[in-house]
Amino acid sequence: MKRIALFTSGGDAPGMNAHIRAVERVGEKRGVEVVGIIGGYSGMIAGHFELLDRIRTANIIDRGGTILKTSRCEDFLSVEGRVRAIEQLRSNGIEGVIACGGDGTFHGAHALWTEHGMPIVGTPGTIDNDLSGTDFTIGYDTAINTAAQAIDKIRDTADSHGRLFFIEVMGRHAGFIAMDVGIACGAEYIAVPETITDIDELYRRIVSQGRERRTVVIVGEGDELGGAMGISKAIEERYGIPSKVSILGHIQRGGSPTVRDRVLASRLGAAAVDALLGGQTDVMIGEVAGSVRMVPLEDTWTTRKPVPGYLKELSTILI
């Protein structure tokens, strides 16, 4: 291969720029041109391509977001949209692609390979940490540190006013963020999508503190009761306890990446280039127990990655 492409897709994640920089640097060392696709799958269909070099990727390693931009592309879900995308790739001389994103990104990447034979390698770029085949995803460490800092500040207010706070963090289908920041911030209860929220047990935990309204509960947005708003409403209707709700939202996606995310993103970016040049395709590059691993793209979404049981147990012990 002499010319490969790179794009970021889906939700942005801190560390994506470090990843872009690593892919360009390693490509250059291997004698390969690296083309950036601007705007994810939408940019692929529209032909928004830009040759990356050392100048374009200089001084971006500490920046949040992604200089290649990102999108969620409805057109790519259709066969016709994918045909237009592959035509753009081939007309621009692209011989292989690196796709950085989450499971939606990988579904599209898998289709490019199976339908059109375009060699493609994925790297896990999502704050949710919900992809099988890697211990951690690019952006996760930054997101949990950002969330923890915000929760620590809210706890000060909860303590000063003697109030019950429900704080919602991201994670539509996975409770990794909620579980880690809940333990780290000393939450009295942690509600995650993987478990059924027990309102009666939550009430007992609140009362057990001896200070009914001076409590912090962490809620993953995918909780079955409707996130923090739903749980807040349920606890007030059943037990008459008023509360405040804070939804951290997209603040968790932004900001300068932590050292851990910069190193992970750089390592996986370098490994992705070498995997692609070595003939690998339809795989995701991850890190497991400190070693770089490759898993089929399909495995990243068909095999569910569970929140560790020891964390669930720990969260109940430390209240």
SS3 letters across 103-114: HHHHHHHHHHHH
Contacts of 211 (CB under 8 A, 6+ apart): 162
Strands (E), 63-181: 96-101, 120-124, 164-169
Instruction: Say how far residue 116 (Cα) sits from the centre of its chain.
Output: 27
Calpha distance 266→232 (Å, rounded): 41
Contacts of 281 (CB under 8 A, 6+ apart): 96, 113, 119, 120, 121
Angle at 196 between CA 139 and CA 164, to 5 degrees: 75
C-beta of residue 228 within 8 angstroms of C-beta of residue 243: no
Check 12, 53, 62, 128 and give the catalytic one: 128
Cα distances (angstroms) measured from residue 231 to each of 23, 156, 238, 249: 43, 22, 11, 17
Strands (E), 32-86: 33-37, 49-52
> Catalytic residue at 128?
yes
C-beta of residue 82 within 8 angstroms of C-beta of residue 76: yes
Residue 110 in 3-state DSSP?
helix
C-beta of residue 35 within 8 angstroms of C-beta of residue 47: no
- Give the count of beta carbons closer than 10 Å to the beta carbon of residue 12: 23
Q: Provide the β-strand partners of residue 292.
A: 287
Instruction: Say how far residue 132 (Cα) sits from the centre of its chain.
Output: 12
Calpha distance 275→277 (Å, rounded): 6
Q: Which residues are catalytic?
A: 128
